[in-house]
């Protein structure tokens, strides 16, 4: 009892001291328990190995059973065993507290370390043509987070052509090469995997960061930009062999180090655009030998050597607020950013490098999931909110919110297709997470609310190439992808899947369909 009181109070008041006490306790020594039981798979520095990194940045984002129960019971269909016979309840609890402590030191993760992590598949043989006879432009990938796999579907027959293992905890949309042949997939632990859809084989993988957010591919398919939280860097890889082209440390104009919230491709500008987490700046990283030819205004500055000798010149734009989550207009001149506090947003003109409008967007809009369509004589953009049950519809000429559509709870993902009269949006959080709303693009009213599996999370939609079918995830371990007729909104097929999350159609992605996030 005395020990419990000491442990609890010291842990609250002095986390570091508490750890030292725990380490010296005769009953539980989490540092030793980690070394004895976890280190072999999760790495001596908790940065991952065979198993994922066990650091707060990774653990905090993991959905599903909590850490104590994963240690106690193990994870089904993975190599994570149950420790309840080996460790006492107290040991498990103290080990859990230890794993939730941030690392005292972040090891260097530069070009040498990244290159040393690269694993190229020696058995990979590039096929001259696809080894299957499906429509290459209608291939659709399903990320199955239940057991960390991707299913490769024929978008006409919905037959599975392959199902391959990915690195642990994929996040963000996989990115396709412009011809649709290769796909690049990123995990939260910073692994980037290259897979050849023609040969149905992995080409290789490399750990581009220690904790990463997402990736973007250059318009010509040559470069892959990886946004990292740990370390504070942007890694640029050559898509050909996943070798490092550049590791750019990220520090604001005043020297403050920053994590990158996300990186986006801006094809007409031949640049990557970076949302920064810790400084009120937007960065644009150009990948041509010369900066683009369109007229830059007075604030145009590139960092480092002269642009003609610097393959990745950087432009830093100061913004009036911290902007986290972006959406671009079709010209990629204007970027809409969500303010960090979730209180609104701003429009930044990338040509003049200045804010041109404020957005009336309370409730933390998830701009990264936004989509556009033609509405009367204008173009509108719609985005769900992460904090309230609303979809905001914004006129992209005036930047005014023209409608707020009430939904049954906060949503995460939206999708449509040029050939569909409807927009689909999920309700990801709260008691109604089992519904999917279908909104009419003209009336801006919800015309149908689907509830295919009661109490199951139903989320994320992708269309087939022609927009005829909409694929919806039943985001559960024994889940499914439900194929709907996109016109009648009737269920057509149900494909069993292991906690399917995002789905990605080659054609919709490489043509930048207006109905999909880019």
* Interacting residues toward ligand DHE by CB under 6 A: 61, 63, 145, 171-173, 214, 262, 325, 368, 412-413, 501-502, 517
Q: How far is the CB of 189 from ligand DHE (least distance, A)?
A: 12
In the complex, minimum distance from the CB of residue 438 to ligand DHE, in angstroms, rounded to a whole number:
17
Q: Which of 486, 472, 508 is nearest to 175 (CA)?
A: 508
CA distance 61 to 171: 10
CB-nearer residue toward ligand DHE: 258 or 501: 501
What is the rounded CA–CA span in Å between residue 328 and residue 199? Answer: 34
The H-or-E segment that residue 3 falls in is: helix 2-13
Residues belonging to the chain: 518
On whether the CB atoms of residues 415 and 429 are closer than 8 A, the answer is no
DSSP 8-state secondary structure symbol assigned to residue 14: -
Q: Report, in Å, the least distance between residue 304 CB and ligand DHE.
A: 26
Q: How far is the CB of 262 from ligand DHE (least distance, A)?
A: 4
Minimum CB distance to ligand DHE, residue 473 (Å): 9
Considering the complex, state which of residue 52 and residue 502 has its C-beta at the smaller distance from ligand DHE.
502
C-beta of 30 vs 410, nearer to ligand DHE: 410
Cα–Cα distances (Å) from 108 to 114, 208, 232, 233, in that order, read 10, 12, 11, 11
Nearest residue to 57 via CA among 248, 189, 186: 189
Least separation in angstroms between CB 420 and ligand DHE? 16
Question: Per DSSP, what are the bridge partners of residue 260?
Answer: 276
Nearer to ligand DHE by Cβ, of 92 and 216: the residue is 216
Question: And the tokens for 264?
Answer: 């986006």
- Minimum CB separation of residue 183 from ligand DHE in Å reads 13
Residue 300 · residue 317 · CB < 8 Å: no
Task: Choose between 94 and 388: whose C-beta lies nearer to ligand DHE.
Answer: 388
Q: Residue 40: phi, psi to the nearest 5?
A: -55, -40
Quick one: three-class SS letters along 384-442?
EECCCCEEEEEECCCCCEEEEEECCCCCCCEECCCCCCEEEEECCCCCCCCCEEEEECC
Q: What is the smallest separation between the CB atom of 145 and ligand DHE, expressed in angstroms?
A: 6
CA–CA separation, 321 vs 341, rounded Å? Answer: 9
Rg, Å, the chain Cα set: 23
The secondary structure element, H or E, covering residue 92 is: helix 89-99
Q: Where are the beta strands (DSSP E) in 239-289?
A: 244-249, 260-266, 271-276, 281-286
Q: Which one, 142 or 495, has the nearer CB to ligand DHE?
A: 142
Burial class (CB in 10 A: 0-12, 13-18, 19+), 126: exposed
Q: Considering beta carbons, is residue 72 or 417 the nearer one to ligand DHE? A: 417
**41 vs 365: CA distance, rounded Å:** 38
Let me know if 377 is exposed, middle or buried by CB neighbors in 10 A (0-12, 13-18, 19+). exposed
Q: Contact, 215 vs 224, CB < 8 A? A: yes
Of 63 and 400, nearer to ligand DHE (C-beta) is 63
Query: Helix, strand, or coil here: 402?
Result: strand
Nearest distance, CB of residue 426 and ligand DHE, angstroms? 10
Minimum CB distance to ligand DHE smaller for 61 or for 253: 61
Smallest distance from ligand DHE to CB 60, Å? 8
Nearest to 514 by CA among 447, 421, 415: 415
- Closest contact distance (angstroms) between CB of 258 and ligand DHE is 15
- Residue (63 or 301) nearer to ligand DHE, CB: 63
Which residue's beta carbon is nearest to the bound ligand DHE? 173
Least gap, CB of 53 to ligand DHE (angstroms): 14
Nearer to ligand DHE, 42 or 415 (CB): 415
Cβ proximity to ligand DHE: between 63 and 448 the closer is 63
189 vs 325, beta carbon nearer ligand DHE? 325
444: left (phi over 0), alpha (psi -120 to 50) or beta: left
Q: What is d(CA 375, CA 198) in angstroms, rounded to the nearest whole number?
A: 38
Residues forming a β-bridge with 436: 426, 450
**H runs (alpha helix) in 274-387:** none
Q: How far is the CB of 173 from ligand DHE (least distance, A)?
A: 3
């Amino acid at each position: 009892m005395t020990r419990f009181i000491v442990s609890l109070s010291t842990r609250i008041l002095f986390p570091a001291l508490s750890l030292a006490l725990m380490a010296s306790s005769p009953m539980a020594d989490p540092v030793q328990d980690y070394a004895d039981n976890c280190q072999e798979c999760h790495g001596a520095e908790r940065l991952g190995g065979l198993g994922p990194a066990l650091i707060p940045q990774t653990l905090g984002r993991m959905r599903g059973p909590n850490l104590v129960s994963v240690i106690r019971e193990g994870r089904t269909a993975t190599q994570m065993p149950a420790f309840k016979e080996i460790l006492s309840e107290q040991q498990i609890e103290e080990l859990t507290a230890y794993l939730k402590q941030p690392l005292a030191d972040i090891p260097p993760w530069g070009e040498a370390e990244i290159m040393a992590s690269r694993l190229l598949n020696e058995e990979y043989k590039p096929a001259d043509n696809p080894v299957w006879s499906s429509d290459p432009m209608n291939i659709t990938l399903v990320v199955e987070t239940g057991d960390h796999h991707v299913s490769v579907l024929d978008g006409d027959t919905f037959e599975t052509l392959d199902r391959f293992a990915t690195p642990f905890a994929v996040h963000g949309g996989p990115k396709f090469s412009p011809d649709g042949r290769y796909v690049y997939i990123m995990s939260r632990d910073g692994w980037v995997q290259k897979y050849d859809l023609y040969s149905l084989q992995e080409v290789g993988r490399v750990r581009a960061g220690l904790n990463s957010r997402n990736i973007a591919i250059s318009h010509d398919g040559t470069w892959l930009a990886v946004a990292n939280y740990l370390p504070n860097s942007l890694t640029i890889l050559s898509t050909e062999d996943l070798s490092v082209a550049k590791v750019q440390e990220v520090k604001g104009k005043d020297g403050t180090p920053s994590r990158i919230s996300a990186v986006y491709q801006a094809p007409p500008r031949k640049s990557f655009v970076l949302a920064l987490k810790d400084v009120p700046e937007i960065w644009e990283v150009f990948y041509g030998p010369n900066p683009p030819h369109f007229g830059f205004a007075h604030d145009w500055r590139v960092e480092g050597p002269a642009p003609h000798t610097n393959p990745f010149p950087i432009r830093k734009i100061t913004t009036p607020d911290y902007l986290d989550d972006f959406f671009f207009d079709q010209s990629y001149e204007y970027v809409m950013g969500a303010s960090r506090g979730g209180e609104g947003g701003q429009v930044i003109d990338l040509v003049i490098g200045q804010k041109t409008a404020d957005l009336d967007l309370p409730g933390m809009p998830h701009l990264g999931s936004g989509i556009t369509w033609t509405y009367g004589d204008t173009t509108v953009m719609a985005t769900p909110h992460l904090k309230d049950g609303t979809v905001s519809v914004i006129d992209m000429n005036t930047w005014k919110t023209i409608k707020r559509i009430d939904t049954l709870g906060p949503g995460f993902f939206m999708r449509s297709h040029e050939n569909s009269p409807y927009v689909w949006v999920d309700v990801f959080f709260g008691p109604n997470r089992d519904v999917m709303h279908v909104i009419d693009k003209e009336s801006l009213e919800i015309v149908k609310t689907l509830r295919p599996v009661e109490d199951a999370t139903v989320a994320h939609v992708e269309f087939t190439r022609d927009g005829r079918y909409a694929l919806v995830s039943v985001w559960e371990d024994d889940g499914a992808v439900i194929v709907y007729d996109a016109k009648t909104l009737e269920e057509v097929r149900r494909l069993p899947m292991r906690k399917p999350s995002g789905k990605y159609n080659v054609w919709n992605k490489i043509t930048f369909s207006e109905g999909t996030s880019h």
